């Protein structure tokens, strides 16, 4: 069975973009692949979070992963910082990554621009740590959004280089993977292209029905179509994309027809969209509340996940040590 791995940084709560773009695929994949889903808390250190927030943030995502339907009996769910084997592989991979290529990664350039006072080495080697996350389980498929493409290219380079330098065929080249036909991009409700934490336009999975309805009803629209079958402007396209993702095809087609014959009432469309989002989120929210309150269960899940992940990572690491010339542990 092929191995799949993916992770999310614990920098806040999961939102609809995370859910439809990533976590929903994780849930489907756990039935078909050998899956590792982790919480990338080391990666979040690039922005220097407070010590008192570290464990809480990881726990939040852990509870939300499980509430979304990731089953710890089927997939290995773990917290990155519980698996210290990763760091040794990170060191070895760093020896074969070059300053120039790391500096050219767009996410590095962007972060360096956003936080010029904190362009640390961890930020530069972010893709190598990500490569270590992936390669330690010799994962073949990685479900991530388009924004991670360059990091994935670095992970493939790390695998290829290691194999080439040591004349082995040890690491598979990990591929970006979408569970559906295409990567899903959940648009923002403010007319922007993407729902994202840093965009401040998110619907969060923990939010109650009233808040969700209010947010959807406030979504940006225009004054409506003036000619039949006209092209939709960006903001309206976004609303329809959200509907395509969150509602049934019949619902989408109904409002699409209304757009085409100019009889659309955005208020009705938003009300329906809010209902459909609530339908998905309400049970998840309930489970988040239930699971978050059971600290002991979360502890058990994190511990079990760490054990399984460490076993897999240690196995790879021992092979790597032998290949490089070190004594295996």
Q: Which residues of this protein are in contact with ligand TRP, per CB under 6 A?
A: 5-9, 40, 43, 130, 133-134, 142, 144, 148, 151
Nearer to ligand ADP (CB atom), residue 180 or residue 283: 180
Query: If DSSP codes are grouped into helix, strand and coil, which group holds residue 83?
Result: coil
Query: Of the candidates 74, 194, 232, 321, which one interacts with ligand ADP according to CB under 6 A?
Result: 194
Shortest separation between residue 7's beta carbon and ligand TRP, angstroms: 4
In this structure, the dihedral spanned by the alpha carbons of residues 85, 43, 301 and 145, taken in order and rounded to 10 degrees, is -110
Q: Which one, 77 or 184, has the nearer CB to ligand ADP?
A: 184
Residue 316 to residue 281: CA distance in whole angstroms: 38
Q: Which does 313 bind (CB under 5 to 8 A by kind): ligand ADP, ligand TRP, none?
A: none
User: Among the options 28, 50, 74, 111, which is catalytic?
Assistant: 111
Stretch that binds ligand ADP, among 42-50, 142-150, 266-274, 291-299 (CB under 6 A): 142-150
Q: Binding residue for ligand ADP (CB under 6 A) from 197, 232, 287, 297?
A: 197
Closer residue to ligand ADP (CB): 60 or 316: 60
Query: Residue 9 in contact with residue 44, Cβ under 8 Å?
Result: yes
Nearest distance from C-beta of residue 225 to ligand ADP, angstroms: 26
Residue closest to ligand ADP, measured at CB? 21
C-beta closer to ligand ADP: residue 112 or 304: 112
Q: Does 185 bind ligand ADP (CB under 6 A)?
A: yes
Contact 271, 217 (CB under 8 A): yes
Q: How far is the CB of 140 from ligand ADP (least distance, A)?
A: 17
How far apart are the C-alpha atoms of 99 and 107, rounded to whole Å? Answer: 15
Measured between alpha carbons, how far is 163 from 178 in angstroms, rounded to an integer? 26
Report the b/e string of 144-165 with b at 16+ CB within 10 A: bbeebeebbebbbbbbebbbee
Contact between 9 and ligand ADP by CB under 6 A: the answer reads yes
CB of 142 to ligand TRP, least distance (A): 5
Beta strands in the chain (DSSP E): 3-8, 34-39, 76-79, 141-142, 175-176
**Looking at 74, 185, 197, 232, which residue is catalytic?**
197
Strand order in the sheet with 141-142: 76-79, 34-39, 3-8, 141-142, 175-176
The two beta strands, 175-176 and 141-142, are parallel
Q: Which of 194, 232, 308, 315 is catalytic?
A: 194
Match 């002991």 to its residue by tokens: 296
Is 111 part of the annotated catalytic residue set? yes
Structure tokens at 254: 């109904």
Catalytic residues: 111, 194, 197
| Residues at the site binding ligand ADP, with contacts judged by CB under 6 A | 8-9, 17-18, 21-22, 144-145, 147, 184-186, 194-198
């Amino acid at each position: 069975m092929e191995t799949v791995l993916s992770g999310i940084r614990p920098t806040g709560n999961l939102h609809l973009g995370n859910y439809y773009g990533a976590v929903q695929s994780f849930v489907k994949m756990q039935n078909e692949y050998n899956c590792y889903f982790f919480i990338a808390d080391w990666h979040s250190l690039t922005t220097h979070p407070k010590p008192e927030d570290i464990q809480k943030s990881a726990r939040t995502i852990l509870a939300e992963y499980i509430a979304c339907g990731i089953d710890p009996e089927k997939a290995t769910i773990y917290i990155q910082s519980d698996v210290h084997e990763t760091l040794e592989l990170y060191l070895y991979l760093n020896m074969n990554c070059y300053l120039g290529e790391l500096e050219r990664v767009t996410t590095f350039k962007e972060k360096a621009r956003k936080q010029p006072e904190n362009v640390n080495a961890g930020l530069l080697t972010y893709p190598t740590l990500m490569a270590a996350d992936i390669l330690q389980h010799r994962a073949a498929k990685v479900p991530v959004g388009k924004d991670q493409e360059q990091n994935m290219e670095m992970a493939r380079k790390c695998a290829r280089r290691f194999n080439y330098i040591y004349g082995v065929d040890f690491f598979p080249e990990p591929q970006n993977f979408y569970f559906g036909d295409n990567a899903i991009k959940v648009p923002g409700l403010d007319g922007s292209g993407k729902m994202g934490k840093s965009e401040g336009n998110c619907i969060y999975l923990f939010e109650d029905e009233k808040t969700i309805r209010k947010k959807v009803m406030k979504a940006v629209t225009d004054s409506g179509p003036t000619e039949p079958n006209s092209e939709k402007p960006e903001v309206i396209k976004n609303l329809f994309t959200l509907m395509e993702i969150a509602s049934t095809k019949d619902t989408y087609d109904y409002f699409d027809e209304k757009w085409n014959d100019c009889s659309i009432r955005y208020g009705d469309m938003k009300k329906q969209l809010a209902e459909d989002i609530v339908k998905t989120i309400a049970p998840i929210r309930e489970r988040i509340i239930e699971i978050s309150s059971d600290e002991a269960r979360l502890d058990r899940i994190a511990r079990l996940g760490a054990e399984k992940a460490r076993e897999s990572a240690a196995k790879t690491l021992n092979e790597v040590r032998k290949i490089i010339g070190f004594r295996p542990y």
